[in-house]
Every structure is written in C-alpha cells, then in structure tokens.
Amino acid sequence: MSDSTAPRVHHYDTTEEAYDWSQTDEIADGDILVVENEQAIAVLMGAYPVALTEGHGEFHAGLMESARRHQSGRYAASVDVAEKAAAEHGLTIEAHHKEPGPAVHRFKSSTEATAAADRGHVGDGDVMVVVFERAVAVRMNGLSVALTEANGAFRPVTILRRPPREYSCGKWADSVETAERIARTYSYELAEPAPGYLPGQRQICPDGVVRTIESATDNPATMITTLAMDDGATFPAHACQLVDAARIASAKATATQAAARVADRPDPDDLDWCRALTDLEDALDYLAHADPAAAEELTGGRTRRITMEVPRTLVAKGDILHAFGARLAVLDTGVTSDPGQDAAWWAQLEGVTGLDKRATYREPWTMGIDLGTAMWDIVTVDRAIPAA
C-alpha cells in the first residue's frame, strides 16, 4: 500500500461477494471491505481479506496480533479508516485491533523461541507462538512463560506463583490477554495457573513453619510481593510455598476410615493394620498443614485414645510413650544421619505427670536409638485417634 494513497472503503451485500472482489484489481492492498448484512469489516492484507470484527463470514479471522502492529504497522492507517466505517454502520472493531498491543512472534519450536528471547530478539511483554507445539508464551521479566498446557522449552505458568495477569503488579496484563486470546482462537488448552496470594491461604515459610496469610502487598518498584502472616511475621512471597489444599476432603475421609481400622484389633504384625496406621498419620499430618480446623475437628473433642504396640519408628508426635516405667508425651520425632555416623531415630519427650518427670527428667529431653534397632523395636503408646 502506497503511503500517498488513502485506503478506500468498499461495500458489499455478502462476505462471499466481497471476498471474490478482493481477488481482483478493483481492490487494493489495505482497502476496507464492509458487509453490513453480516456485521463484518475486513482489511485486504496482501492476498487475503482479514476480518477486524467478531463476525467474519467468508473473511479470514484469527489474526494473531493487533492489525495496527501487523507487518510493522503497515495497516495502521487502514484500521483508522475501518474504525470510522464501523462507527458509521453501528459495527464494532475487536478491541485488540484498536491499539498496537504487544508484539507477536512465531517460531517453529519452543527451543528456538527461548533461544531467540535469550539473545534479546524477543522483548519483555512480547508473545511467542509455536503452532506445531500448540504453545503460547509471554516474556515476563526475562522469563519465557507458557500460558498453555503445552509448554515445551518454556517455563510453566505455575512458576509465577499467581495468576499471570497479576504478576509484577499487572505489568504484563495486556500481553497475557493477547496470549490467551491467541490460545483460545486456535483451541490451545490454557494451563491452570497457581492461585494468587489470598488471605487464609496456608504457606510453608522459609523457616519451615506453616503459617496463614493475612495480607499480601506488592511493591511496584522492586516487583516483590510481601506476605504478612497470622503471627505477625513477614516474608517475600517467592520464598514461600503454597500448601496444597486440594485434598482436604479426601484426607478427612481417609483419616476417618483409617482410624476405624486402627481401633479394630491393634496388631503391629498385621500388614493391613500397619498400612491403616500410616494412612492415618499421613492424613492427619496433611490436614495439620492444609486445614488446621479440620485436623482439630478430627483430633479434638471427637477422639479417643487407644493403647497399641507399634514399631518405634512409627511413634508420632502427640503419642504417649510407655518407657522407663513412665508415661512420656512425644513432642517430636525424626531421623538424623550425620556424615560418618550411623543413622539414628530420635524423640523429644516429656513426662506426662510430675511422677513421670521425676522418674525420667524434669524438663523436656531427647532420646536416640540406632535406626536399624528402632525399625524392629516394638514399643507401647497411647494414641489419640478420631472417633470411629
């Protein structure tokens, strides 16, 4: 299209008729085709009339980028004319064609795309499309992040730890919108992003403690999100890990079923019983992290303590261990494996009553046993389990 020639507007009764005329010398590159009957407006781009409206009939649709940006802005003047024609006829140009929008790059593979981005040929905010892999990605703060289920050599969207529109305080929202539009147009499956930082979410903090978010604050200057926790502590969001809360219902059901089996004829030599005991411990441990209220509901008022024999390595926090002629509350357990030393099982203990403390130690204390011995050593504990 010559810079000295303004785009012309042509009206037709059908998009089929308009398409046929676009293949003749009567229509010039960049001209506007208006078909009011079908609510369609197109621009002739090279050999093809490309629709700028949602209605497109026989026109080509699904231009990946804004028509204003297409071919380095070659058709920007055509979009201006098309907008005026649309206003005159009560038609609507799709919003993404009205502004330049982010640049869209097409690649043969995601490996080629990431290499180009790393060499600086793709800028922050640009969109990368790999048709053969059904992948669409956005360059964000130097990361090539796929918004599609297929990601290839791109980073998965979960790396952002929040919905992509919210990443960097929404800096790349327009790029994300363009990428998602392209993915939907070509029926590419969008990936499920990590949820945002919301009050009430449980996060594993850098010190290993699980806390609940009270609020999240974004700093636009540093692009760092700070999480304020329920105990007053604060941490950078990128240093925390979201606790999976998707299995709360199934964990409650597992705990209830396993508790019924554990309470039925305790027998540490029975494989099914040992599996039920392990399932119960795992479910309660998960709930303690993901939903403390649910864990409290199961281990609080509606519980009973049963006396059972278990391998020492299955002694758990909250048990009461029978040892040394005393009843000892188990405060914590674990396994240590120091370089040059044999692995050892340990438990932090405290006497339940004053008499138990006098029989052992008055303050909490730790005992350790060689792990090999602990694995076969059978001990007696009182354990609180959900009421069956």
pLDDT one digit per residue (tens) for the chain, 388 residues: 445 578 999 999 998 998 899 898 888 888 999 998 888 898 998 888 988 888 888 888 877 778 887 887 788 888 888 888 888 888 888 877 877 888 889 899 999 999 999 898 998 999 999 999 999 999 988 889 999 999 999 999 887 877 888 887 788 898 999 999 889 888 999 998 877 788 888 888 888 788 889 998 877 676 678 899 999 999 988 788 778 777 888 888 888 888 888 878 777 778 888 888 888 878 887 887 778 877 777 776 566 778 888 889 889 888 999 999 999 999 999 888 777 778 899 999 999 999 999 999 999 999 999 988 888 899 999 887 776 5
Cα 301 from Cα 307, distance rounded (Å): 18
Do the Cβ atoms of 365 and 349 come closer than 8 Å? yes
The CATH code of the domain at 248-386 is 2.30.30.30
Tell me how many degrees the CA angle 292-295-300 measures, rounded to the nearest 5: 115
CB 66 within 8 A of CB 58: no
For 203, what's the count of Cα atoms within 13 Å in the CB-facing half-sphere?
32
Domain boundaries, the chain: 9-98, 104-185, 210-240, 248-386
pLDDT of residue 387: 65
Q: Structure tokens of 260? A: 């019924």
- Quote the CA–CA distance of 185 and 196 in Å, as a whole number: 26
Looking at residue 1, what is its pLDDT? 45
Q: CA–CA separation, 45 vs 64, rounded Å? A: 14
Cβ of 155: how many Cβ atoms within 10 Å? 15
Taking CA 46 as the corner, what is the angle to CA 38 and CA 103, rounded to the nearest 5 degrees? Answer: 90
Task: Find all residues with CB under 8 Å of 320, minimum gap 6, and list them.
Answer: 305, 327, 328, 329, 330, 352, 381, 382, 383
Q: What is the pTM of this model?
A: 0.50
Report the pLDDT value the prediction gives residue 220, as an integer from 0 to 100: 66
User: Which residues are CB-neighbours of 374 under 8 A, at least 6 positions away?
Assistant: 311, 312, 313, 344, 345
What is the model's pLDDT at position 130? 93
Q: How many CB atoms lie within 10 A of CB 78?
A: 27
Residues 6+ away with beta carbon under 8 Å from 377: 311, 312, 369
State the pLDDT at residue 145.
Answer: 92
